[in-house]
Copies of this chain bind each other. A is one copy, B any other.
């Protein structure tokens, strides 16, 4: 089976640079796959994606050695398993708030006896090799999102779940949970404290801490805090920023 290339990065103590795909197009996904990311996550929750466009994005990513991941829209077995069958090498799951959530989530990602994933890796076997079923549990990542007050309270219970590979902080929802405005570069002390707690707890449990950020500078700050799976922005926001900066500069030049 094709190895999950994120694991050796973490084993060497380095940080995974992850990209985020909200544009439902295999072409833009392939553009993103050429820009140096270690992994790309197709966002089925807030991105304009569904299963069919995710499939196209997975294929586009698979033209490179970038690792294809998915964020599913909800803690539901059908979409988790469908995305794995389509070749995702890891699943980011929203709203893993309790130990029970974490156990359910892990069980959807693992074949029996470790879990209850149903067997039928139709595209996964094309991408990963014919021995996929033998090794999938060891290569596929299960990453639960920490984005509520409840999840913060249950950090140790969640992080000690067998089979969970990591956690991923959703700063926007967490901000709402604290009564703050959503931001991907928060400075509120409660947010910072929460970020520190998650990173520390993940390390304590030997799990990968991950986080979504809004800028490279903030991402570096998070890496220094211990985060090892870091996203900066997403494709649509990158496009919007680049285009709007270009238009603005041109209009100023023309003025």
Contacts and interface: CB of A to CB of B under 8 A. Distances in A.
A133 interface: yes
A232 B216 contact: no
A216 B119 CA distance: 21
Chain B CB within 10 Å, residue with most, of A23, A45, A50, A81: A23
Interface in A104-154: 111-113, 118-123, 126-127, 133, 147
B122 A22 contact: yes
Given A31-B243, A74-B76, A112-B173, 9 more contacts: A32-B243, A35-B243, A35-B247, A37-B243, A43-B120, A50-B51, A112-B176, A219-B253, A232-B250
Given A19-B243, A59-B56, A251 B36 contact: yes
A55 B36 contact: no
Contact of A119 (B81, B127, B176, B244): B176
B250 A233 contact: no
B246 A48 contact: no
Interface residues of A, number: 92
A249 to B, nearest CB: 4
Contacts of A28: 23, 25, 28, 236, 239
Interface stretch (A157-165, A177-185, A194-202, A203-211): A177-185
B250 A123 contact: no
Contacts of A122: 22, 46-48, 236
Contacts of A173: 112, 118-119
A186 interface: no
A43 to B, nearest CB: 8
Contacts of A123: 27, 30, 48
A32, A55, A217, most chain B CB atoms within 10 A = A55
A91 interface: no
Contacts of A191: none
A254 B216 CA distance: 10
Contacts of A24: 25, 27, 52, 55
A36 B248 contact: yes
A5 interface: no
B34 A126 contact: yes
